[in-house]
Amino acid sequence: MSDQTAFNLADYYDTDTFNRITTFAAGKETPFLVVDTATIDRHYEKMVEAFPYASIYYAVKANPAPQILTMLRDKGANFDIASIYELEKVLALDVSPNRLSYGNTIKKARDIRAFFDKGVRLFATDSEADLRNIARAAPGSRIYVRILTEGTQTADWPLSRKFGCQTDMAMDLLILARDLGLEPYGVSFHVGSQQRDIGAWDAALGKVKVIFERLRDEDGIELKMINMGGGFPANYLTRTNDLATYAAEISRFIREDFGEDFPEIILEPGRSLIANAGVLVSEVVLISRKSRTALHRWIYTDVGKFSGLVETMDESIKFPIYTDKSGEVEDVVIAGPSCDSADIMYENYKYGLPLNLAIGDRLYWLSTGAYTTSYSSIEFNGFPPLKDYYI
Ligand SMILES: *Cc1c(COP(=O)(O)O)cnc(C)c1O
């Protein structure tokens, strides 16, 4: 453990796991991601333990590797699917369609039909046009309406504005769903990914409660399900509460709003299950200063925004970066290898890296199991997609 790190490696990986990953990584050509599946197993178990009453729908987009999907399938997980391509991938692993939900509110009518033909009967929506498409292409299906949530300042990767509708419109849509012969089944929200303010779930559940009560009292519609989305924490540099604290608080919010006999609860974790299982192994390509008197060195690595580190956009996600080198530390700018000046990962937020860090040294990007391989471009500047290994 070097002293340059503003973090404690033990907060992210136990020694065994980290050694297993670095041993596997030794001698392989960088860059690549190593994912420790035992860690995912542990995070999944923790999620089940923390929310014993909930059904878990893994958000496939976080990391669609067959090794992960197979493992979660065998553990009994359900899957939140966003496209026919994800659908085909999951069905190819013999997952029953009644364990799937089509969670994307933006979809073509022919894709809705494809999901329906494959046996999927649970659909998200947030607009009238989409709802009418579902009624035509997936008659009789269960519908949940996604509502807008606040809390974008406290989520490191917000998912607001683009998805969801206002409470009044959500009620209109659920009534219309009934009138179109669909089953108005529930309400969903996503408080934003890596949501650090647990109160965001309280605010969202408050809106859901209003919808449940008004529809029951004024329209005779009994909704059955609340889909609380993702947003649960992974460990990055910016600390969060642990999952048990999230669960205790959120469970309290549910009981305060809905009593002991609360509706069916769905969770759609992605990041919190996968991120901390992964280490992205990279190599320093170049170290330079921009002038004789420049205070900051530039560290260019063989991985960048276009090869897996998209979530460094606006420096949103601050990955812990580990190196074997130690000693005196200096602030650096960290950038990727491509010919695009957007390919700078950290410039405002200054990472301290040891002065003796040299070209050819390895940098280990911790907590990179989620939203890296699936976001990697396919050949910008000819660089291939991010390689990944599952151990
Ligand atoms: C991306 C996404 C998730 C996963 O969110 P995390 O914050 O990664 O857990 C869940 N549900 C939906 C609808 C999503 O789009």
* Mean of all residue pLDDT scores within the chain: 96
Q: Is the CB of 268 under 6 A from ligand 1?
A: yes
Model pLDDT, residue 153: 82
Q: Which residues contact 236 (CB under 8 A, 6 or more apart)?
A: 156, 194, 275, 317, 318, 319, 320, 367
Q: Is the CB of 337 under 6 A from ligand 1?
A: no
E strand or H helix that includes residue 136:
helix 128-137
Q: How far is the CA of 356 from the centre of ligand 1 (A)?
A: 40
- Nearest residue to 96 (alpha-carbon basis) of 81, 106, 82: 81
For the segment 4-37, what is each residue's pLDDT rounded down to a tens digit?
456 789 989 999 999 999 999 999 999 999 999 9
Q: How far is the CA of 77 from the centre of ligand 1 (A)?
A: 15
Residue finishing a domain among 269, 304, 330? 269
Average pLDDT over every residue of 140-169: 91
Give the three-state DSSP class for 113.
helix
Residue 240 lies in a domain: yes
For the segment 46-97, what is each residue's pLDDT rounded down to a tens digit?
999 999 999 999 999 999 999 999 999 999 999 999 999 999 999 999 999 9
Q: Is the CB of 233 under 6 A from ligand 1?
A: no
Contact in structure between 331 and 350 (CB atoms under 8 Å) = yes
Q: Which residues contact 359 (CB under 8 A, 6 or more apart)?
A: 284, 285, 286, 287
- The number of domains in the chain is 2
Do residues 124 and 231 both lie within one domain? yes
Pick from 188, 268, 273 the residue to mutate for probing ligand 1's pocket: most ligand atoms within 8 Å of its CB: 268
Do residues 253 and 113 both lie within one domain? yes
Give the up-direction half-sphere exposure of residue 25: CA atoms within 13 A in the CB hemisphere.
25
Average pLDDT over every residue of 358-377: 97
| 3-state SS string for 137-175 | HCCCCEEEEEECCCCCCCEEECCCCCCCECHHHHHHHHH
CATH code, domain with 29: 2.40.37.10
Residue 74 lies in a domain: no
What is the DSSP annotation of 52-91? TTEEEEEEGGG---HHHHHHHHHTT-EEEE-SHHHHHHHH
Do residues 248 and 318 both lie within one domain? no
Residue 43 lies in a domain: no
Residue finishing a domain among 269, 296, 322? 269
Say how far apart CA 244 and CA 277 lie, in whole Å: 18
Q: How distant is the alpha carbon of residue 125 from its chain centre?
A: 20
Q: How far is the CA of 191 from the centre of ligand 1 (A)?
A: 9
In the beta sheet, which residues pair with residue 55? 266
Model pLDDT, residue 158: 86
What is the DSSP annotation of 185-196? EEEE----EEE-
* pLDDT > 70 in the chain, percent: 98
Q: Which two tokens stand for residue 219?
A: 């329209």
Q: How far apart are the first and last CA of the chain?
A: 23
Nearest CA to ligand 1 atom 5: 230
Average pLDDT over every residue of 231-257: 97
Could you list the residue range(s) of the whole structural domain that residue 245 is in? 103-269
Nearest CA to ligand 1 atom 1: 59
Residue 362 lies in a domain: yes
Asked if pLDDT for residue 340 goes beyond 90, the answer is yes
Cis peptide before 31 (omega within 30 of 0): yes
Do residues 181 and 295 both lie within one domain? no
- Nearest residue to 386 (alpha-carbon basis) of 369, 373, 371, 370: 373
Model pLDDT, residue 187: 98
Do residues 248 and 290 both lie within one domain? no
Residue 64 lies in a domain: no
For the segment 60-72, what is each residue's pLDDT rounded down to a tens digit?
999 999 999 999 9
Say how far apart CA 78 and CA 143 lie, in whole Å: 17
Confidence tier at 1 by pLDDT (50, 70, 90): very low
Contact in structure between 265 and 226 (CB atoms under 8 Å) = yes
Do residues 292 and 307 both lie within one domain? yes
Cβ neighbour number for residue 361 with a 10 Å cutoff: 18
Nearest-10 crossing angle of helices 243-258, 37-50: 30
Model pLDDT, residue 281: 98
Residue finishing a domain among 208, 237, 269? 269
Model pLDDT, residue 3: 40
Average pLDDT over every residue of 177-189: 98
Contact in structure between 335 and 287 (CB atoms under 8 Å) = no
Say how far apart CA 297 and CA 286 lie, in whole Å: 10
Do residues 234 and 294 both lie within one domain? no
Do residues 155 and 182 both lie within one domain? yes
Do residues 232 and 341 both lie within one domain? no
Do residues 231 and 330 both lie within one domain? no
Do residues 174 and 297 both lie within one domain? no
CATH code, domain with 231: 3.20.20.10
Model pLDDT, residue 6: 66
- 297-301 and 329-335 strand pairing: parallel
Model pLDDT, residue 4: 44
In angstroms and rounded to an integer, the radius of gyration of the C-alpha atoms of the chain is 22
Nearest CA to ligand 1 atom 11: 229
Do residues 265 and 279 both lie within one domain? no
How much is the pTM?
Answer: 0.96
Average pLDDT over every residue of 323-329: 92
